[in-house]
Chains A and B, each alone.
Chain A
Amino acid sequence: MDLSVVDPVALFVGLVAAATPLLFAAIGELVVEKSGVLNLGVEGMMIVGAICGFATAVKTGSPALGFVAGAAGGCVLSLIFGVMTQYLLSNQVATGLALTLFGLGISALIGQPFTGVKSPTMARLEIPVLSEIPLLGRLFFSYDIVIYLGIALVAAVWWFLKFTRRGLVLRAVGENHDAAHSLGYSVVAIRLAAIAFGGACAGLGGAYLSLARVPQWTEGMTAGAGWIALAIVVFSAWRPWRVLLGAWLFGGVTILQLNLQASGFLSWLQSLGIPAQAQYLSMTPYLITIAVLVVISADGSKARSNAPASLGRTFTGSG
């Protein structure tokens, strides 16, 4: 065992990249849930974003256009969910699950000609001077532009929800749709916009997977990332900055687990008879999420101000 080979800086850089698809999907879902809608179709929207982004990047040679297409793909898929749940008043849980099934299928169909194709690579944004600062340069200035965009998006969502009138209205709709309706706000339109935003974000996250993190297209490549994004929203207690923390936690545990294996640490524990299987380590973020949820829920006043009260409930518009 040699833990000295685990470079904390590399660990951090690795986890930031691993967390980015989760970050996009989770921040989008946060806005959706803040408007009182629970969309469980994140996995489906992510994978559709992944293939739309990949296919466009291959066809046009431009990763930037790929990201735009990824967002558009996720957005279009989310609107199916939006129309179903907002106009046709279908159950959100069931519709979201159906959306995932549909998204996994349609992405595989679109993706058939793109298996084994290489995508145009994205240039890493080496910020001159800054990225050359020892340690700090690598820690903060060595990523591709999409990672910075992700963090900027978190800031924007935070600002939007906290300081803008529209953000206030969105939260009001999520809190009590009947009250918001009687005040004259269009609950359906606001929720539809939130759902579309969430779809676009999930699509971006998927596109980041297929264009930057892996980068390639394979069927089912999201491998559950959309579900983790749902967990992160809960972990965050519906606070944008905590989404960033949550994404880093979930990304970090994966990276840490791999590092501990490669350095021989897990092996060493096992040789002592401790059942240190990688699976147990992989469980920890979910357990931490539950613990966080318990803590914030137990404190009644905090929970009320944050968890959208109308989450998952159907708004019929008949008052």
Chain B
Amino acid sequence: MLRLEPRTETKTLIQALAPAAAVLITMVVGGLLFAALGKNPFEAIHTIFIAPLFDPYSRTELLIKASPLILIALGLSFGFRAGIWNIGAEGQYVMGGLAGSAVALAFWNVEGAWLLPLMAVAGIAGGAAWAMIPAFLKIRFNANEILVSLMLVYVATLFLSAMVSGPLRDPDGFNFPQSRLFHDSARLPILMEGTRVHVGIIVTMVAVLAAQIFLTRHLFGFNVRLLGQAPRAAAFSGVNAKRLTVICLGLSGAMAGLAGLFEVAGPIGQLQPSLPVGYGFTAIIVAFLGRLSPVGILFAGMVMALTYIGGETAQFALGIPSAAISVFQGLLLFILLAVDLLTRYRVRFVRRGEV
């Protein structure tokens, strides 16, 4: 009989090899899937996993697609370490984008370098405020934050829909439910001519670095981990669980809100009802795939983005239906999550009865 035992020490080699092994297994299983659909498996895998890495434009797009995932996942990872489950980042992302857009539209056609920072503040505030609702209900009424934050995703999405078909609708847009196009002062500056690489990506990268330092070098990082692993010990050592709840939820909400703002002020350039495309949920997976470590999240976000971008190319280059792409992504996630087990536990044979 097989038995799992927690590893007492984490081996860096296994930690590094496990995701690579998972990607290889996914390539084989995915290849079989594509072969079953009558497509050339090698071409398909090459298009999805490898080609985007060698095309300069796709590389920039990888950053653009991964950036919101990474930013949101980073914010979530603090809470997840502390055992605080914010799964409503999608709603906070929407509220951040909405608040930032409201500022942009209020100052429509007003030029000024102050506008973008103001929008960023509004985005952060919008996301954080939305996350404060589950935080407040948790510390005041002990309401489960998983469920409250999930409910608020739907409220936020419906609110966005009401706003873009009401007060924020483009007055010259023939009643289509979307806002005006933002003017130049309200758009994120582009870093590389001819691409869509915007300032937000730098912010994301800085956030990865900052989070890494924060978690390893700062008392806050220690407290966060302590609360998640041993809540009672945390209480004894003077960690204020309520304050930490507010900070963790607020932080994740703020980062999700900022990601939402980057999306509307960056690649989209206006407020659309289709703003929520699931980044808030995908980021949860990214956070776990990255094992809640900032650098891990960076890689996990890039891998997810790779499958999205490669998947689009595979659709028009090879005629693979989008359904097959999402099956493939699901497989990749399953295998990554399963293989991750080997980094935390080791498998040992035991005789029956010896428990």
Residues of A within 8 A of B (CB): 38, 40, 80, 84, 88-91, 93-95, 97-99, 101-109, 112, 219, 224, 227, 230-231, 234, 275, 277, 279-280, 282-283, 286-287, 289-290, 293-294, 297-298, 300, 303, 307, 312, 316-318
Contacts and interface: CB of A to CB of B under 8 A. Distances in A.
B329 A94 contact: no
Contact of B325 (A105, A293, A297): A105
A279 B158 contact: yes
Nearest first, the 9 A-B pairs at minimum CB distance are: A102-B330, A105-B326, A108-B323, A105-B327, A98-B333, A90-B337, A279-B162, A94-B288, A297-B143
Interface in B303-343: 321-331, 333-334, 337-338, 340-341
Contacts of A98: 285, 330, 333-334, 337
Given A102-B334, A277-B165, A316-B6, A90 B148 contact: no
Given A293-B147, A297-B141, A94 B323 contact: no
Nearest to B283: A97
Contacts of B285: 94, 97-98
Nearest to A44: B330
Contact of A101 (B143, B324, B330): B330
20 contacts: A40-B87, A84-B334, A90-B337, A91-B288, A93-B87, A93-B288, A98-B334, A101-B329, A102-B330, A105-B326, A105-B328, A107-B323, A108-B321, A109-B324, A112-B323, A279-B158, A280-B158, A283-B154, A293-B137, A297-B143
B281 interface: yes
Interface string B131-143: 0000001000111
A300 B340 CA distance: 37
B6 A90 contact: no
Contacts of B340: 90
B60 interface: no
A279 B4 contact: no
Contacts of B146: 38, 93, 312
B161 interface: yes
Nearest to A289: B151
Contacts of B42: none
Majority-rule SS of A interface residues? helix
Contacts of A303: 142
B331 A102 contact: yes
Interface of B: 4-6, 37, 85, 87, 137, 141-144, 146-148, 150-152, 154-155, 158-159, 161-162, 165-166, 281-282, 284-285, 287-289, 321-331, 333-334, 337-338, 340-341, 344-345
A300 to B, nearest CB: 7
Contacts of B147: 230-231, 234, 289, 293
Contacts of B345: 89, 316
Of A84, A90, A108, most buried by chain B (CB within 10 Å of CB) is A90
Given A98-B334, A112-B321, A318-B5, A90 B143 contact: no
Contacts of A298: 141-143
Contacts of A112: 321, 323
A147 to B, nearest CB: 25
Contacts of A317: 4
Given A97-B282, A279-B165, 19 more contacts: A84-B334, A90-B337, A90-B340, A93-B284, A93-B288, A98-B330, A99-B330, A105-B325, A105-B328, A105-B329, A108-B326, A112-B321, A234-B151, A282-B158, A283-B154, A289-B147, A297-B142, A298-B142, A318-B6
